[in-house]
A and B are shown apart, each in its own frame.
Chain A
Amino acid sequence: MKRFLSSMIDGRGFDIGLVSLPLAFLLTLSGLPLLYNIVMSFQEVDMFSLGSFWRPFVGLKNYRDLFAQPETWPILANTATFVAASIAGQFLVGFGLALFFWTSFPGASWLRGLFLVSWVMPGLVVGAIWNWILSGDFGVLNFILRETGLIDGNIFWRSDPGFSLWAVIIANIWLGTSFNMILLSVGLSAIPRDLYEASELDGANVWQRFWTITLPMMRSSIGAIMALGLIFTLQQFDLFAAITSGGPNNASNVTQYWAWDLSFRQYDFAKGATISVIMIAFVMVASVVYVRSTRHEVRG
């Protein structure tokens, strides 16, 4: 007992205690629900048997049924587009802004702070605002594009199968930029300035400095942002619900919205769970990327 106590205060036990409590908490509150979803994807789920764990097993039937549906592949492709375009957009805009504000000028830190507001906004509110801005006939975005001569007729962002997915992507880039920018700013500020001074003396130009110093030094930040970005993007649900509801004709439907739609609109809980298992596989890849990126971290 005494050894245990002293270990708790002064040894390994302290670390294990610190880490096991939150892990246990997470495993109960996130792990079990995750497991519930996975198990459900192999079961036949009756809408009134939601409360119990024991339901008839049907093996891979849900998976076979899912991939027999004609909309499955297009929706998976949409998801890939949504994730790739959102992450790329958020990252590029965020990185651009972070680099821009990194050059110190008066008011830089104050203005940079303003770019964090999208983080503060609840998803529901952001969805409502963008729904309103993107509306085809009354939307202000169409008005601005028309006035500046970029388009002739209104673009029906929400209802044109060619644009609806991009409407959500635009809103999502807006939403995620702040998160990218701030984490990248943090990464940038950690790069020692003398590295740049040295290479400037060596005659390296801006581009060379960016490629040889900035990017390599940012590796771990970028890895973390990509992984978290993938997770946040895959969780993005409010914007779909608010702007397009996955329509028209599934043109902007993605897995996370589809899974919800199957579960709670068509009450096909097993299929909803099946899709979520596919998403878990997606995120597993992201997690590996993140964990690998931490390998390159340097402890200060």
Chain B
Amino acid sequence: MAIRGSAILGALALAGVSLFGLAAKAEDVTISVWSLDRDIQPAPNLISDFNKLNTGIKVEYRQIQFDDVVSEAMRAYSTGQAPDIIAVDNPEHALFSSRGAFLDLTDMIAKSTVVKTSNYFPGPLASTMWDGKNYGLPKATNTIALYYNKDMFKAKGLDPDKPPQTWDELVDAARKLTDPAANVYGLAFSAKANEEGTFQFLPWAQMAGGGYEHINSDGAVKALDIWKTIMTEKLASPDTLTRGQWDSTGTFNSGNAAMAISGPWELDRMVSEAKFDWGVALLPVPELGAERSSAMGDFNWAIFSNTQHPAEAFKVLEYFASQDDRMFKDFGQLPARSDIAIPETGVPLKDEALKVFVEQLKFAKPRGPHPEWPKISKAIQDAIQAALTGQMTSKDALDQAAEKIKAVLG
């Protein structure tokens, strides 16, 4: 019986191998990758380039939505359906690495000839770390700065070469630029009750000496008061409360807002859509000479700890990292690398803007890392919304947020 059984098993195995061989080369290893990149963004293009190299590793790609990344990943991981590689938003990286869901890459990186941690900007790199170990690689990075419409500046008697540098100048400029009759708001930004709101607000708090650990500091309260001024004086559209950054900046592009706070992901669209002269300036600071700060956005690559093929998955990551110099030219994204000089694109507006963003990036701070970042972020969003809808004062709202954050931080 036992002999017959194993003979049958052997035959089945043989049949399985030969069937498999028909579908793919026998030595091919399949690596699955999930990310939110669309067809014109890096991941699918890099993957199809990689597959053309015939390295014996075949990469399959699945696009997931920004909102679904974490929930899909958790569900897949807890039922053993996780992909080998995933791209997660940097503040959510620690959620996974702290629970051992991501593979510790420290040793592989140490041995690698392609990936060197010293080549990365410290902020993005820090977001991939947990407990002193590397749990991923930064995929790209971005930050926010101030876009402004030079034509409107001229029309309202402002100097188009002197964009606002401080908060007070920003509010002043916004007052002058706001023109309800022409449907123009002074400023467009996002205070939406999701991660985007936190992303936009934290830099303001940090510039004034606050931060997520002490969100109710005087500086942070002042920052929120400035936001409140902008909203109550209708210097920005009330829809700022429910609109994301991309939609808000869309109103800037169409000439319905004179300034906009957003990131480099807007550049390509703005170049093609904005029918006016525009420029980019560093995010205004509380007062001249104050410490600069900025948000640090974008995703990280990571390998799930239950992958069958860690070595091959890491090879794929190495390939991604080796292509970082193409990021800006081909996809308009900034590599998180200090060793790569970003080449000029030949589009003057875009190249000017790039310089500002690279400068701004030096002040970018990661959110967290903390395994319960979503709860911290939620507390901040609630405070922003409560204050801006006029239901609480900035101080009370941020005190409440600080209370909630303290409970999370323990």
Contacts and interface: CB of A to CB of B under 8 A. Distances in A.
A and B touch in the complex (CB under 8 A): yes
A266 B192 contact: no
A205 interface: no
Contacts of A48: 74, 77-78, 99, 101
A51 interface: yes
Given A48-B101, A50-B78, A265-B194, A136 B385 contact: no
A156 interface: yes
Contacts of B229: none
A159 B239 contact: yes
B242 A137 contact: no
B404 to A, nearest CB: 10
Contacts of B101: 48
Contact of B74 (A159, A161, A244, A267): A267
A266 B242 contact: no
B77 A160 contact: no
A137 B77 contact: no
B386 A265 contact: no
The B contact surface, by secondary structure, is: helix
A146 to B, nearest CB: 12
A266 B374 contact: yes
B146 interface: no
Contacts of B237: 136-137, 156, 159
Contacts of A51: 78-80
Contacts of A49: 78
Contact of B256 (A47, A52, A137, A156): A137
B78 A249 contact: no
Interface string A139-159: 000000000000000001011
Contacts of B251: 137
A246 interface: yes
Give the most central of B78, B378, B389, B391: most A CB within 10 Å: B389
Contact of A247 (B67, B95, B183, B193): B193
B183 A137 contact: yes
Interface residues of B, number: 35
Given A50-B75, A266-B375, A267-B374, A249 B385 contact: yes
Contact of A50 (B70, B74, B241, B378): B74
A68 to B, nearest CB: 12
B238 interface: yes
B391 A161 contact: yes
A135 interface: yes
A154 B384 CA distance: 23
Interface in B177-208: 183, 192-194
Interface in B213-265: 237-243, 251, 256
A175 to B, nearest CB: 20
A251 interface: yes
B87 to A, nearest CB: 18
B382 interface: yes
Contacts of B75: 50
A282 to B, nearest CB: 25
Contact of B378 (A138, A248, A249, A265): A265
A95 B194 CA distance: 39
A48 B349 CA distance: 46
B388 interface: yes
A99 B251 CA distance: 44
B54 interface: no
Contact of A248 (B74, B79, B193): B193
Contacts of A236: none
A265 B242 contact: no
A245 interface: yes
B71 interface: yes
A264 interface: yes
B78 A244 contact: no
A251 B70 contact: no
B374 A159 contact: no
A267 B239 contact: no
Give the most central of A50, A244, A265, A266: most B CB within 10 Å: A265
A161 B390 CA distance: 10
Give the most central of B71, B183, B251, B391: most A CB within 10 Å: B71
A159 B194 contact: no
A246 B74 contact: no
Nearest to A139: B239
Nearest to A46: B99
A95 to B, nearest CB: 33
Interface string A221-260: 0000000000000000000000011111111000000000
Contacts of A156: 237-239
A116 to B, nearest CB: 31
Interface in A261-283: 263-268
Nearest to B191: A248
Nearest to A153: B180
B385 A247 contact: yes
A52 B240 CA distance: 41
Give the most central of B75, B80, B193, B237: most A CB within 10 Å: B193
Contact of B241 (A137, A248, A267): A248
A136 B184 CA distance: 13
A267 B149 CA distance: 40
B255 to A, nearest CB: 12
A215 to B, nearest CB: 41
Interface in A160-178: 160-161, 164
Interface of B: 67-68, 70-71, 74-75, 77-80, 95, 99, 101, 183, 192-194, 237-243, 251, 256, 374-375, 378, 382, 385-386, 388-389, 391
Given A249-B382, A265-B194, 5 more contacts: A137-B256, A156-B237, A159-B242, A245-B242, A264-B67
18 contacts: A47-B74, A48-B74, A51-B78, A137-B183, A138-B256, A158-B243, A159-B239, A164-B242, A245-B194, A247-B193, A248-B242, A248-B385, A248-B389, A249-B386, A249-B391, A264-B67, A264-B71, A266-B375
Interface of A: 47-52, 135-138, 156, 158-161, 164, 244-251, 263-268
Q: Nearest 8 CB-CB pairs, A to B? A: A249-B385, A156-B238, A51-B78, A264-B71, A248-B241, A159-B241, A50-B78, A159-B238
